Structure 1
Amino acid sequence: MTATRAGILVVDDEPRSVEVIARVLGEDFDVHTALGAAEALKILENEWIQAIFCDQRMAERSGVDLLTEVRARWPEVVRIIVTGYTDPTDMIGAINDAGIYQFITKPWHPDQLLLAAQGATRLYQLQRDHDRLSLELKLAAPAAQARVLERHEKVLANFHFDTLVRAPDSPLNEICRQAAQVATFDIPVLILGETGTGKELLARAIHYSSLRSEQPFFAVNCGAIPDELLESELFGHKKGAFTGAHTQRIGLLDQADGGTVLLDEIGDITPAFQVKLLRFLQEGEIRPVGSNEVRRVNVRVLAATHRELACEVRAGRFREDLYYRLTALTLTLPPLRERRGDLRALTQRLLDHLSATHGKRAKGFTAEALGCIEAYDWPGNVRELQNEVTRMLVLAGGEHLGADLLSPHVVHGAAAASAKAMPFETAIRDSGPLKDRIERMEALILMETLVRCRWNKSRAAEELGLSRVGLRAKLERYGIAREGAFGRSH
């Protein structure tokens, strides 16, 4: 049975733009397209749309104008503006008039669109789950409320520490233990780690394991928003506070009163905004832009960054007093290259999820594919791994995904590590006798070719211009065997 894919609507009066965005999103979502506002409204009336990507500049009607109507008629639809504007006041107007979930500036990157679509459809589903459970609680008889609450607990369980997939001896275990221990204490936590290591997932687990779990959780990427917009996003603003502020906006800190806010990429905020944030953390008070009214809020602040914040303090780029306000406890998430023991469980979990999402059956990976995956360093961490598993699933012809489906650079990196070889550029710069350096490169080429040819030695020999006997001799010379490939037998 094929899983129902989330519906995405792309609106732009430029046919080429619509075509390109639809192509990027089409593999993962059910994409509908419209070349104007009138056509978009008809689609919304007849199709199940979870998120809408809309260009701001359109001849018939602006994106803000259209999405303002969408907000009034279909408030559950998550709205995203695609814009060429770079002036902060223009962006503030777009976000606040139409209740924009996210803005994407041109030129955009395909991964940026995919991440936005994934986040928007996830938010849509969470909103529906929350609304349904709230309604059921209101209507349920007292005897049935316990069952509804039990289901609610299952929804919350999706964000507990068990969702951070790991092996019994994983380095994440100690981090999760500390996070669980501190979750019920109302203190700030700083989460460090490279991009894609799961910092927001850990923050959500802390929130949903705390006494604030029934209250809101919001995450805001501080590094992607200019100061003027970030101040409005967090503190809110009064109508007419600046050009484009046509309506009053309630800031996230006010909306999260009683709950938790994650300030992601906190290391990227400017010195000027650091002062404003410090004042809030010290006083617990917010003042919307353009207002003289001060309001006290009770919000737990979690922070995350890929930067070494202590080094930023020593370099004078981050305020020391703000740093200590954010770091009652610091948790550092290791990159995937330091979690090789987790890769099997994590890769299988991703495959199960993606298989259900895309409606394509897959059972698992071959031993050789897992060997490559465990040997590769994954500089992009979980996001890169998820993209790779998605690619393998889409290209697979059977229920078990083999190493031949892996991207060349993954096979290259895995072979280099396992054969103790080096990438070509590194070998050129390396020291040592010419003969040794050439042999390292030759071993790497042999390993890559065999994996790509699925260890068909006749085909590999033909590709390399060798006889089968000659290839066998080289494999024996370098100790290359399929059973010992990538450092482990499976």
Structure 2
Amino acid sequence: MQTQKRPTVLCVDDEIRSLETLERTLDEEFDVLTASSAEDALKILEDSRVEAILCDQRMPGVTGVEFLTEVRRRWPEPARLILSGYTDSEDIIRGLNDAGIYQYITKPWHPDNLLMVVRNACKLCQLQNENELLTMEMRLTSEQVERNINHKKALLKSGFKMDEIRRSENSPLNKLCEQAARFSPFDVSVLITGPSGTGKELFARALHYNSLRADKPFVVENCGAMPDELLASELFGHKKGSFTGAISDHMGMFEQADGGTIFLDEIGEITPAFQVKLLRVLQEREVRPLGDFQRRKVDVRVIASTNRDLEEEVRAGRFRQDLYFRLAEVTLTLPELAQRKVDIPMLAQGFLDKAMAEFDKPVKGFTGEALACMQSYCWPGNVRELQNEVRRMLVLSDGDYLGADLLSPRVLRAAPQEEGGELELLAGLDGSLKDRIETLEKRILRETLIRNRWNKSQASRELGLSRVGLRAKLERYQLERTTVAQSPDKHQ
């Protein structure tokens, strides 16, 4: 076992007997170095590291205080102690001010007292050294933290670039992203409209991280179904005791976002009374926390979103026109997923990549049949519903590829190439009863076969048909399992 290194003490005295006495007293606990003059002591300090210096005050040439003053200038780390048989107050004051003396020890000294004083002095030197190391480590750590934060900010910016939003080459989003990229650097309010689940928050983040405010905070508040008092507290803050349950001061999100961007989701749900409060904040660029009499200036860019038609809400008198124009300096309208089905393969692959990392369950991708079924479905829940479907498929999977048999029944029923005229037949718009029944029968056959992974024996048993009868129907409707390619490489 490694033994702890003993502290080193330098004793300086022109009287040899006094020096020998000091050495005999201290060498039980310390490594003792001795010098009979200030010049010899300085040479020792140039070559050796010591924790404490014990020096006699009355020496020829220079006094102990003068010597320790020079030591303090060149080697400030060791604790400095003076031995003296005199109690001259001027020496004491000069020693404290100039030499930074840790303690005066009067002669004659007691061995136990001397040991205790030198022991504490060495401990003080060690603590000072540890403090310097910790200070340096904290400085290095803070620099590392700053680098990590800057690295994460850079990753956020790169992840929310407009050209990083997943879409195909001929996506309906392309023009929208080009427009957003042009005005994102300008400090204008943006209203993002579109059905729930279309990615409005994703676009809001992209607008922020492509703006001049990208290094400042981005905060989000959902305004839907929240009482006015609670919403005011969340957005504007409150003082302790301003209402029941306000047990401490709370900084509102407008102040938290100062210099950055605030995203107000579901802005169409706020009450007319709260619309007035919000309008004042946007006009005056200042907030007043609940229970406070002081207003506070804020510099915030506002991005809002809604799944309502706010222009219709304005015409109906449910939304203030002046607030609408404050929020909608620029308007982005996101399309439903059903209007951008060409993006489904890339979106599905992106969600699959995230789910594989989260669940630690790797697969190679989707089968072409699964992607065809997904592109035929209407996705009323939009992108969010697609994300949930992909996660469900991965959880249920037991092979290298996610096949159509893993899709939910509602997605399977949307068979490829059957969402146009044939759906109109089922809706009773056109066609005879026989045509409608045959269309329905074909859809049932296809769904059952996909769910059973095209195992005709299992499908025939489920449908109550013989294999011969099932084969006849397949030939009649020209249903067969085509050879489908797997999902494209996600890097293409």
So what's the TM-score if we normalise by structure 2? Answer: 0.66
Task: Tell me, in whole angstroms, the C-alpha distance in 2 between the residues paired with 1:406 and 1:144.
Answer: 44
Could you list the per-position Cα deviations for residues 191-250 of structure 1 after superposition, in whole angstroms to 9, with x for gaps in the alignment?
011111110011011001100011111010000321110001111111111111111111
- Sort the Cα spacing of 1:138 and 1:322 in 2 relative to 1 into closer, same or farther, 3 A: farther
Task: Tell me, in whole angstroms, the C-alpha distance in 1 between the residues paired with 2:474 and 2:380.
Answer: 29
SS at 2:418's partner residue? helix
* More displaced stretch, 462-471 vs 288-297: 462-471
Aligned to 2:193: 192
Instruction: State how 1:8-19 maps to structure 2 within 5 Å.
Output: none
Aligned to 2:328: 327
Verify: 1:268 aligned to 2:255, yes or no.
no
Shift of 1:418: 5.2
Task: Tell me, in whole angstroms, the C-alpha distance in 1 between the residues paired with 2:187 and 2:354.
Answer: 33
Aligned to 1:234: 235
Task: Tell me, in whole angstroms, the C-alpha distance in 2 between the residues paired with 1:441 and 1:265.
Answer: 40
- Sort the Cα spacing of 1:255 and 1:144 in 2 relative to 1 into closer, same or farther, 3 A: closer
Aligned to 1:459: 458
Aligned to 2:35: none
Instruction: State how 1:111-190 maps to structure 2 within 5 Å.
Output: 139=140, 149=150, 152-190=153-191
The answer to whether the Cα contact below 8 Å between 1:415 and 1:421 also exists between their aligned partners in 2 is no
Q: Partner amino acid for 1:439?
A: E
The answer to whether the Cα contact below 8 Å between 1:416 and 1:422 also exists between their aligned partners in 2 is no
Could you list the per-position Cα deviations for residues 451-482 of structure 1 after superposition, in whole angstroms to 9, with x for gaps in the alignment?
11212233323322233333233233333333
- Sort the Cα spacing of 1:147 and 1:458 in 2 relative to 1 into closer, same or farther, 3 A: closer
Task: Tell me, in whole angstroms, the C-alpha distance in 1 between the residues paired with 2:434 and 2:138.
Answer: 74
SS at 2:168's partner residue? coil
Aligned to 2:482: 483
Could you list the per-position Cα deviations for residues 155-189 of structure 1 after superposition, in whole angstroms to 9, with x for gaps in the alignment?
43223224421111111111111111111000001
Task: Tell me, in whole angstroms, the C-alpha distance in 1 between the residues paired with 2:312 and 2:137.
Answer: 50
SS at 1:475's partner residue? helix
- Sort the Cα spacing of 1:427 and 1:236 in 2 relative to 1 into closer, same or farther, 3 A: same
Q: Partner amino acid for 1:475?
A: L
* More displaced stretch, 195-204 vs 412-421: 412-421
The answer to whether the Cα contact below 8 Å between 1:422 and 1:444 also exists between their aligned partners in 2 is no
Aligned to 2:369: 368
Shift of 1:374: 1.1
Q: Partner amino acid for 1:272?
A: A
- Sort the Cα spacing of 1:178 and 1:245 in 2 relative to 1 into closer, same or farther, 3 A: same
The answer to whether the Cα contact below 8 Å between 1:421 and 1:441 also exists between their aligned partners in 2 is no
Task: Tell me, in whole angstroms, the C-alpha distance in 1 between the residues paired with 2:380 and 2:172.
Answer: 18
SS at 1:482's partner residue? coil
The answer to whether the Cα contact below 8 Å between 1:195 and 1:381 also exists between their aligned partners in 2 is yes
Task: Tell me, in whole angstroms, the C-alpha distance in 2 between the residues paired with 1:136 and 1:189.
Answer: 45
Task: Tell me, in whole angstroms, the C-alpha distance in 2 between the residues paired with 1:197 and 1:338.
Answer: 11
Q: Partner amino acid for 1:236?
A: G
The answer to whether the Cα contact below 8 Å between 1:419 and 1:443 also exists between their aligned partners in 2 is no
Aligned to 1:290: 291
Q: Partner amino acid for 2:321?
A: E
Could you list the per-position Cα deviations for residues 57-109 of structure 1 after superposition, in whole angstroms to 9, with x for gaps in the alignment?
xxxxxxxxxxxxxxxxxxxxxxxxxxxxxxxxxxxxxxxxxxxxxxxxxxxxx
Shift of 1:422: 4.3
Q: Partner amino acid for 1:409?
A: R
- Sort the Cα spacing of 1:290 and 1:409 in 2 relative to 1 into closer, same or farther, 3 A: same
The answer to whether the Cα contact below 8 Å between 1:392 and 1:405 also exists between their aligned partners in 2 is yes
Task: Tell me, in whole angstroms, the C-alpha distance in 1 between the residues paired with 2:420 and 2:189.
Answer: 45
Shift of 1:146: 7.8
Verify: 1:387 aligned to 2:382, yes or no.
no
* More displaced stretch, 339-348 vs 162-171: 162-171
SS at 1:224's partner residue? coil
The answer to whether the Cα contact below 8 Å between 2:191 and 2:304 also exists between their aligned partners in 1 is yes
Aligned to 2:444: 445
Task: Tell me, in whole angstroms, the C-alpha distance in 2 between the residues paired with 1:337 and 1:258.
Answer: 37
Task: Tell me, in whole angstroms, the C-alpha distance in 1 between the residues paired with 2:472 and 2:218.
Answer: 61
SS at 1:344's partner residue? helix
The answer to whether the Cα contact below 8 Å between 1:189 and 1:326 also exists between their aligned partners in 2 is yes
Aligned to 1:470: 469
User: Whose relative contact order is higher, 1 or 2, with alpha carbons under 8 Å and at least 6 apart?
Assistant: 1
The answer to whether the Cα contact below 8 Å between 1:404 and 1:453 also exists between their aligned partners in 2 is yes
Aligned to 1:406: 407
The answer to whether the Cα contact below 8 Å between 2:415 and 2:446 also exists between their aligned partners in 1 is no
Task: Tell me, in whole angstroms, the C-alpha distance in 2 between the residues paired with 1:482 and 1:149.
Answer: 52
The answer to whether the Cα contact below 8 Å between 2:197 and 2:381 also exists between their aligned partners in 1 is yes
The answer to whether the Cα contact below 8 Å between 2:153 and 2:215 also exists between their aligned partners in 1 is no
The answer to whether the Cα contact below 8 Å between 1:263 and 1:303 also exists between their aligned partners in 2 is yes
Could you list the per-position Cα deviations for residues 288-310 of structure 1 after superposition, in whole angstroms to 9, with x for gaps in the alignment?
11111111111000000111111
The answer to whether the Cα contact below 8 Å between 1:420 and 1:440 also exists between their aligned partners in 2 is no
- Sort the Cα spacing of 1:484 and 1:361 in 2 relative to 1 into closer, same or farther, 3 A: closer
Aligned to 2:418: 417
Aligned to 1:255: 256
Q: Partner amino acid for 2:441?
A: E
Aligned alpha-carbon RMSD (Å): 3.0
Question: Which ranges of structure 1 fall in alignment gaps of 5 or more residues?
Answer: 1-134, 486-490
Aligned to 1:214: 215
The answer to whether the Cα contact below 8 Å between 1:167 and 1:345 also exists between their aligned partners in 2 is yes
The answer to whether the Cα contact below 8 Å between 2:415 and 2:443 also exists between their aligned partners in 1 is no
Task: Tell me, in whole angstroms, the C-alpha distance in 1 between the residues paired with 2:220 and 2:149.
Answer: 27
Could you list the per-position Cα deviations for residues 297-331 of structure 1 after superposition, in whole angstroms to 9, with x for gaps in the alignment?
11000000111111111111111111111111111
Task: Tell me, in whole angstroms, the C-alpha distance in 1 between the residues paired with 2:268 and 2:401.
Answer: 42
Shift of 1:145: 7.8
% identical aligned pairs: 56
Aligned to 2:398: 397
Q: Partner amino acid for 1:476?
A: E
SS at 1:225's partner residue? coil
Q: Partner amino acid for 1:433?
A: S
So what's the TM-score if we normalise by structure 1? Answer: 0.66
- Sort the Cα spacing of 1:273 and 1:346 in 2 relative to 1 into closer, same or farther, 3 A: same
Number of corresponding residues: 353
* More displaced stretch, 261-270 vs 163-172: 163-172
The answer to whether the Cα contact below 8 Å between 1:421 and 1:444 also exists between their aligned partners in 2 is no
